[in-house]
């Protein structure tokens, strides 16, 4: 349905006058003009945000970046998932996936009962403290977030942040699958992606438009509700699409499971 927003209607009248002169516009042409104005309004809202605005989270030392709110002023707004969502607030997201070094700090400070037998497997997939933590269950991530004073992102927040200000694109970098190796560590190797059998150190590839790294590939990331997003180092490109999702059980942890945290603005 066409939204009744006064400033947008004014813009449409100007556009209509410029494009059609004295001729009447067909309904199809008018709808096309409306669509273009809405897209331009969304782009302006996103791009005019003062981003990136970065901070370092004291508890775990994570670098975080400001993500603009998903509610783009209007009668109602639709998230990338196609659901109505009103937040009204920007939020902070970890720039990188939680590293094994950060997770070790959490274990040392809390004595959390993590399955120590997994470390031999973790060493193979994520061999240094700069690599993302793997083999974490949903319950493990919830415990870490509670310790750090943060939380897991909702699916809506994760997907909005993954798109990096792009509207309706397949991947975090756009629609061109040929650019995947510049932004994502996934199945095989090539270009900037030099890791064929393991995760990459966080931040090794290009970030998206919000300055967030590895939203495609490296490790699938847990979201609230036990859903995993983003693809992994062992995924095909089809699983790197920002809309791809699958549900994991709370006790499931695997070589491609990781996470990152979010928080409200301080």
User: What average pLDDT score do residues 116-142 get?
Assistant: 97
User: What average pLDDT score do residues 228-255 get?
Assistant: 93
Q: How far apart are CA 211 and CA 203, in angstroms?
A: 10
User: What average pLDDT score do residues 213-228 get?
Assistant: 97
Task: Quote the pTM value.
Answer: 0.77
pLDDT for residue 29: 52
3-state secondary structure string across 173-213: CECCHHHHHHHCCCCCCECCECCCCCCCCCCCCCCCCCCCC
pLDDT for residue 167: 87
User: What average pLDDT score do residues 76-104 get?
Assistant: 74
Tokens 């998932």 locate to: 81
Residue 11 pLDDT grade (very low, low, confident, very high; cuts 50, 70, 90): very low
Q: How far apart are CA 22 and CA 18, in angstroms?
A: 9
For 102, the enclosing helix (H) or strand (E) is helix 100-110
Q: How far apart are CA 249 and CA 253, in angstroms?
A: 9
Whether residue 185 has pLDDT greater than 60: yes
User: Around Cβ 131, how many Cβ atoms within 10 Å?
Assistant: 25
Q: How far apart are CA 97 and CA 130, in angstroms?
A: 10
pLDDT, averaged across the chain: 82
Whether residue 227 has pLDDT greater than 80: yes
Q: How far apart are CA 14 and CA 24, in angstroms?
A: 14
User: What average pLDDT score do residues 44-56 get?
Assistant: 60
* Bridge pairing between strands 227-229 and 245-247: antiparallel
Residue 229's beta-bridge partner residues? 221, 245
Which CATH number describes the domain made up of 92-264? Answer: 3.90.1580.10
Whether residue 6 has pLDDT greater than 60: no
Whether residue 160 has pLDDT greater than 60: yes
Whether residue 49 has pLDDT greater than 50: no
pLDDT for residue 251: 76
Whether residue 77 has pLDDT greater than 90: no
């Amino acid at each position: 349905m066409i939204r009744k927003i006064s400033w947008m209607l004014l813009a449409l009248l100007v556009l209509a006058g410029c494009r059609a002169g004295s001729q009447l516009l067909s309904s199809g042409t008018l709808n096309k003009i409306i669509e273009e104005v809405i897209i331009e309004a969304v782009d302006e809202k996103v791009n005019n945000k003062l981003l990136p605005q970065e901070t370092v989270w004291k508890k775990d030392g994570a670098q975080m970046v400001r993500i603009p709110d998903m509610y783009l002023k209007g009668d109602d707004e639709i998230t990338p998932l196609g659901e109505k969502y009103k937040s009204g607030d920007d939020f902070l997201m970890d720039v990188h996936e939680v590293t094994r070094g950060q997770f070790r700090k959490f274990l040392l400070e809390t004595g959390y009962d993590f399955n120590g037998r997994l470390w031999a497997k973790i060493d193979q997939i994520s061999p240094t403290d700069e690599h993302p933590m793997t083999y974490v269950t949903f319950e493990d991530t919830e415990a870490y977030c509670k310790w750090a004073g943060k939380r897991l992102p909702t699916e809506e927040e994760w997907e909005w942040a993954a798109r990096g200000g792009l509207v309706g694109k397949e991947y975090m970098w756009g629609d061109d699958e040929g650019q995947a190796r510049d932004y994502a560590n996934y199945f095989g190797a090539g270009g900037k992606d030099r890791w064929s059998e393991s995760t990459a150190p966080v931040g090794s590839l290009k970030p998206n438009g919000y300055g967030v790294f590895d939203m495609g590939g490296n490790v699938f990331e847990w979201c609230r509700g036990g859903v995993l997003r983003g693809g992994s180092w062992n995924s095909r490109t089809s699983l790197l699409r920002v809309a791809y999702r699958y549900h994991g059980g709370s006790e499931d942890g695997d070589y491609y499971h990781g996470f990152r945290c979010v928080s409200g603005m301080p």
